[in-house]
Structure 1
Amino acid sequence: MISVPIGKPSFFTVHLVFVLLTILFCFPGSVSASAEEAAALFKWKSSFFNPDNPLLTSWILQQNSSPCSWYGVSCIKGSVNRLNLSDSNIISTLYDFPFSSLPNLEYVDMAVNEFSGSIPPQIGNLSKLIYLDLQGGALSNEIPREIGFLKNLQTLHLNGNYLNGSIPEEIGQLRFLNDLALAANNLDGPFPASFGNLKNLSYLYVYDNHLSGPIPPELGNFDNLVEVYMDGNQLSGHIPSTLGNLNKLKVLYRFSNNLSGSIPSEIGNLTSLNTLSLFKNNLTGSIPPSLGNLRNLTLLHLYANQLSGSIPKELGNLMLLEDLELSNNL
């Protein structure tokens, strides 16, 4: 066996990678699929700004080596299907990630690393991907439209980066998506019209961006929604009455936006709700007595609006309520 020392890639290391890739290209049957994947992953590691990362000492390239025993790598039938490299102190970009060399990849968790630069459009090559977590990095520029090719995706976490531009229309092609986290970026513009296709969503986190325009009324058709965080944006218009259909909803955060009009009485249908926060908007009218139906509510924040009239006595039915804030209204 040929062993390669870990650390800054030597000429011998680079040459070995080149030889293996040449053999794979010219004689595809001569080296196993896992060896091809090992060479591709090792080449990617060699592009890191800190390739001597002590967590990745098991990433040793050997002739006909398999990556299945490497740190953070899991396989099915000898082919890589999972990468769990979260919080691994990787300092790099995704430009050299082997998107086309890992055809069976289903799970990628590379959260809380120092990835910079753009998300390459080649992300769309990972057609079997179910889980993708790139949160907590320094990724920038727009979300590539090719994200729409990941039609098996159920979890997409891109929160806590520096992504900008609008949410791409193609995101509506991810019809199996259950968990969407785009929070704490610099995204702007309205929700795309295709957003209404994401009817399997249970968790939606888009807080702390610059999103504008109305709340999509189609959200009321998302029967599985449990948590919605839209706070800290520039959303405007009325709160759709269709939200009253979300009988599984437990958390609804819409504070610090530019919402106007009245609080729809249909909100009182959300009997599973335990947190309702609509403060710092431009809401008007009276507090609907139907909020007294929210018997599981522990937090109700309606302060810093333009609500008028009296406090409805029905709020006295909220026996679990711990935090009620109605100040700075009319």
Structure 2
Amino acid sequence: MERPSPILQLIALFLLPYLLSHNLANTTIDLKTDESSLLAFKSHITNDSFDPTLRKNWTTKTSICNWIGVTCGSRHRRVIALNISYMFLEGTIPPHIGNLSFLVYLNITGNLFHGDLPNELAHLRRLRVLDFSNNSFAGELPRTWLGNMTDGLEELHLNDNSFNGIIIL
């Protein structure tokens, strides 16, 4: 078997570290985007006095992949699941949630979230399971994001809220 030419070896010697560091830098930037989205979500929680888990655990001192309720994918190291069900949290859902672009599973059932659902949920194109049941949401469901999600969404749980209007898929 023939050895690669010295020029190819030199290119590989200088190009490979660049490509590896560039990929690592992009992963770090993307993880920072997920982190700031979740911290914005945390800032919209107005009451977690029953169980202050998120207040204590969701900090920049640890990787978001180690935060309670957060699951990161092994391939891209991005947030793929958020399960904060039955933590008795009270607050609203900020538009920043739409920046979790790798999110596949979102479960906030059994809390006291209220207000309108942000239109930015439409950005969650990979979402397969969405469970907002047993909260205090009201108003109409934003048709803009619900219609965009029907292609990949497999489960949608909205029961035991105060939504009104008609859902047309």
Normalised by the shorter chain, which TM-score bucket?
0.7 to 0.9
1:154 counterpart residue number = 154
1:149-180 CA distances to partner (integer Å, 9 max, x unpaired)?
A: 1120000000000001112x2x2xxxxxxxxx
1:183-218 CA distances to partner (integer Å, 9 max, x unpaired)?
A: xxxxxxxxxxxxxxxxxxxxxxxxxxxxxxxxxxxx
Q: Which amino acid aligns with 2:91?
A: S
- Pairwise CA distance, 1:29: 5.4
Matched, 1:128 2:141: no
CA separation of 1:98/1:131 partners in 2, compared to 1, >3 Å: closer, same or farther?
Answer: same
Q: Contact conserved, 1:112 with 1:135, CA < 8 A, in 2?
A: yes
CA separation of 1:97/1:90 partners in 2, compared to 1, >3 Å: closer, same or farther?
Answer: farther
Question: Unaligned regions of 5+ residues in structure 1, if any?
Answer: 1-27, 172-330
Q: Distance in 2 between matches of 1:87 and 1:97?
A: 22
2:36 counterpart residue number = 39
Question: Unaligned regions of 5+ residues in structure 2, if any?
Answer: 1-24
2:57 counterpart residue number = 58
State how 1:181-192 maps to structure 2 within 5 Å.
Answer: none
Percent of residue pairs bearing the same amino acid type: 30
- Pairwise CA distance, 1:144: 1.1
State how 1:88-103 maps to structure 2 within 5 Å.
Answer: 88-94=87-93, 96-103=94-101
State how 1:1-330 maps to structure 2 within 5 Å.
Answer: 31-50=28-47, 53-56=51-54, 57-62=56-61, 66-76=63-73, 77-94=76-93, 96-145=94-143, 146-150=145-149, 151-167=151-167, 169=168, 171=169
2:9 counterpart residue number = none
Q: Which amino acid aligns with 1:81?
A: I
Q: Contact conserved, 2:95 with 2:119, CA < 8 A, in 1?
A: no
- Pairwise CA distance, 1:102: 0.6
**TM-score normalised over the length of structure 1:** 0.40
1:97-142 CA distances to partner (integer Å, 9 max, x unpaired)?
A: 4233211000001101101111222211111000000000110011
Q: Contact conserved, 2:109 with 2:135, CA < 8 A, in 1?
A: yes
| Larger relative contact order (Cα-Cα within 8 Å, sequence gap ≥ 6) | 2
Q: Contact conserved, 1:110 with 1:133, CA < 8 A, in 2?
A: yes
- Pairwise CA distance, 1:90: 1.1
**TM-score normalised over the length of structure 2:** 0.75
Q: Contact conserved, 2:114 with 2:136, CA < 8 A, in 1?
A: yes
- Pairwise CA distance, 1:54: 1.6
- Pairwise CA distance, 1:51: 5.8
Alignment RMSD: 2.0
- Pairwise CA distance, 1:70: 0.2
Q: Distance in 2 between matches of 1:90 and 1:45?
A: 10
Q: Which amino acid aligns with 1:144?
A: P
Q: Which amino acid aligns with 1:91?
A: E
Structure of higher CA gyration radius: 1
Q: Distance in 2 between matches of 1:97 and 1:69?
A: 23
Q: Distance in 1 between matches of 2:31 and 2:162?
A: 34
